[in-house]
Amino acid sequence: MDDVFDGALRRQSPLIVDGSMATELERQGVDTASALWSATALVDSPRIIRDVHRAYFEAGANIAITDSYQANVPAFEKLGLSGKQSRRLIAVAAEEAIAAREEYRRAHTDDETADRPLVVAGSVGPYGAFLADGSEYTGDYALSDAEYRDFHRPRMQALADAGVDLFAFETMPNIGEVRALVGLLNDEFAGTQAWVSFSLQDAGHLCDGTPLKKAVAELDGNPQIAAIGVNCVPPETVSPAVHIIRRATSKPIIAYPNNGDVYHPGTKTWTPNPGGLDIARLASEWFAEGATIIGGCCRTTPDDIRRVASALRDVSYQGMETGRTNQPR
C-alpha cells in the first residue's frame, strides 16, 4: 500500500488543504440551510461543486476534500431517494473533485505548478453530522461498533469506487466512532488510507472528553492512517493541539481550523467574530509547531487559502535557504 502523503510531502512541504465548500456554495446561490447542508448541491448543482474545487486548486490547494461530509445514504433516503440513487450522489461528490483536478492540470501543463501534488480526499463526516443538531461539536451520541460501521460503509464504498486517493475521517468528536471507522477501514478497505482529524472541546480533549494524546496514540501504529490532526476548531486552538499531537505520533499532522466565527446548531447559522484570528498569519506558527498539512474549514474561502499558501511558501523557502525544513517525523 502506497503512503499517500509520504511522496507528496517530499515534493512539497507543507501541503495545503482547501477551505469551506458550504460558504462558497452559498455565495453562488445554493441554499445550504437544511439537514443536507453542502450536500444539497449534489442533488441540484453538481457543476458548482466542481467550480469550487477548481477555485481552491487555483488558490494553491494541494488537497480537495469531497462534498460528502453530510452526504450519506440515510440522509438521502429521507428525501425519498433509493439506496442506489443515494450512493450515486456520493460518487458524484468524488467525481466532481477529480474532474476539477483534471481541469486544473490541463490548464497548467506548461507552468511552474504543473507537477505539484494534487490529492482528492473523500470526506467521511461523523454520525453527528447526520443528526444535523451540531453534535459533531459535542460528541453526545453513541452507537454500537456494528451500527457505526453500517452507517459509514456505503459512503466509504461509493467514494472508494469513484477513485478518491484516501478518506478524510474529519470533525470526529467521539472516540468510539473513530475506533469503529478505523476498524472498518482495516477490515474492508485494506488498500486505502485515511486521515483522522478530531473535533475538540479544548486543545487537550476531544468533544466527548477523551484526552487528545490518548486518541492520537491509539492511531499512531496503524499503517492505514496517513495523518492525524484537528479540523473545524478555532484558530487559537491549533498550536497547542498540534503540540500535543506531535508528542504522541510520528505521522504527518494535519490542521485546518474554521475562521473563528461562532456556529449556532439550532438555526444552522454563524455569528461573525470580528476578533477572530487570521489563519494565514498563524499558519507559519502551526508549521513550526509540526503541522505539515494545513488549510481551512468552515467559513474560509479561496482567498484565505491563497494567503495561507503564500505565507507557507515563504516560510518553506526560508527554511530551504537556511537548511531548516519541516519534514514529517
Return binding residues for Zn(2+): 232, 297-298
* Residue 166 host element (H or E): strand 166-172
In contact, 19 and 302? CB cutoff 8 Å: yes
Residue with cell 453526545: 140
Pairwise CA distance, residues 101 & 283, whole Å: 24
Sign of CA dihedral 197, 203, 204, 209: negative
The CA–CA distances, whole Å, from 313 to 117, 243, 294, 306 equal 14, 22, 12, 10
Residues annotated within a binding site: 232, 297-298
Instruction: Spell out the residues 6+ positions from residue 317 whose beta carbon is closer than 8 angstroms to its own.
Output: none
Closest to 140 measured CA to CA, from 169, 170, 176: 176
Q: Locate 89 and state its grid cell.
A: 450522489
Question: For residue 313, which of 285, 291, 288, 284 has the smallest C-alpha distance?
Answer: 284
Is the separation of the CB atoms in 298 and 258 below 8 Å?
yes
CA distance 196 to 216: 9
